[in-house]
Structure 1
Amino acid sequence: MEHRIKELRTSFCFTQEQLSQKLGVSRQTIISLENGRYKPSLELAYKIAKLFQLSIEEVFIFEKGSE
């Protein structure tokens, strides 16, 4: 699964720490998300999309067969 989290975070001028606080997760979670080592829960994916005023599909690119 690919995503645009880092791109969106930098375009909104958020640090990783600021984004983590807004989402209620640790900075390490943001680092892991951005590096592709962690797949967010549906709840976290929704929070991320809502924060950036986008749909989940606009933030996350789901590839066929990548469950």
Structure 2
Amino acid sequence: MFDNIPVKVLGCLKPGEITVIALPGVGMVDGGILWEIPTEMIPVSLRMPNSEFIVVCDRQSGNFIEIIPKS
């Protein structure tokens, strides 16, 4: 089973990873959960701070499956 999780890009805080806020507005005092996603998984057009997209995540393994632009 897969989960579609909305995220917002915070920035590139570590080489090779983009830090995003998962579930913005939910948890962590409405700030969401910080995740690091490998840069190569995210299309160049979605890497800028405040970009929003959907991360498809495998519920059992926790692995990121794909990135879907938010419509």
Shorter-chain-normalised TM-score: which range? under 0.3
Whichever structure has more strand as a proportion of its residues is 2
| Bigger RCO (CA 8 Å, 6+ sep) | 1
TM-score of the two chains, using structure 2 as the length reference: 0.24
TM-score of the two chains, using structure 1 as the length reference: 0.24
